[in-house]
Amino acid sequence: MTTAAGTPTWAAEFGVIGERLRATLGEHALRIDHIGSTAVPGLPAKNIIDIQVSVAALDAHLLAPLFARADFVLVPERVQDHRPPGSPEPESVWRKLYFSPVEGRPIHVHTRAAGRPNQRFALLFRDYLRAQPDAAAAYAEVKRRLAALEIDSLVYADVKDPVVDLIVQAAELWAAQTDWAPGPSDA
């Protein structure tokens, strides 16, 4: 795991990638946002840029050729987001399209339908950690301890998901208290 202090270029790297996606996807991308740990200043993270592209509909036939022009390929086996316990929505609402670069630095592009819970979840989680340094520090400690175990990345995600669910519960209260709404698109 790398620390943000050790990699101050994550925001700038997202900027370049975001511009490329914006130029290629045009109006098909309703939002392009830097999400995940590299989007939270000071939060330790793997050196992977996570991006969320919000679209009107998850149409792989339309979107895959557009992403290909930006040198990203659809990864068909990664179509389901983690659904938090107690979520009243069906699994289908938590679906996404996932794109990976053909080559180069690791980038995860999560393409989600605008207005769906998984699209909101990523933005709320990011904004809450940016606004609440104590919560970000606690999350960082969980990530450090998990990384020290040197476990498989799928096991890592299975352990981390419930922690993220707990943080999002606090984030929902914060969102209600602050009238949170996502700001403008990052790209």
Domains of the chain: 10-178 (3.30.460.10)
Alpha-carbon distance of 147 to 45, in angstroms, equals: 10
pLDDT tens, per residue, the chain with 187 residues: 555 454 568 999 999 999 999 999 999 999 999 999 999 999 989 899 999 999 999 999 999 999 999 999 999 988 999 999 989 999 999 999 999 999 999 999 999 999 999 999 999 999 999 999 999 999 999 999 998 998 888 888 888 999 999 999 999 999 999 999 999 999 9
Question: What is the C-alpha to C-alpha distance for residues 105 and 9, in angstroms, rounded to an integer?
Answer: 13
Q: Extract the tokens encoding 116.
A: 């769906």
Matching residue, tokens 């984030």: 171
User: Would you give the end-to-end CA distance of the chain in angstroms?
Assistant: 26
Residue reference for tokens 């790209």: 187
Cβ–Cβ < 8 Å for 58, 98: no
171 near 125, Cβ under 8 Å? yes
Alpha-carbon distance of 168 to 61, in angstroms, equals 32
- Report the predicted TM-score, pTM, of the whole model to 2 decimal places: 0.93
pLDDT at 158: 87
In the prediction, which pLDDT does 104 show?
A: 92
- Positions of E strands within 89-172: 97-101, 107-113
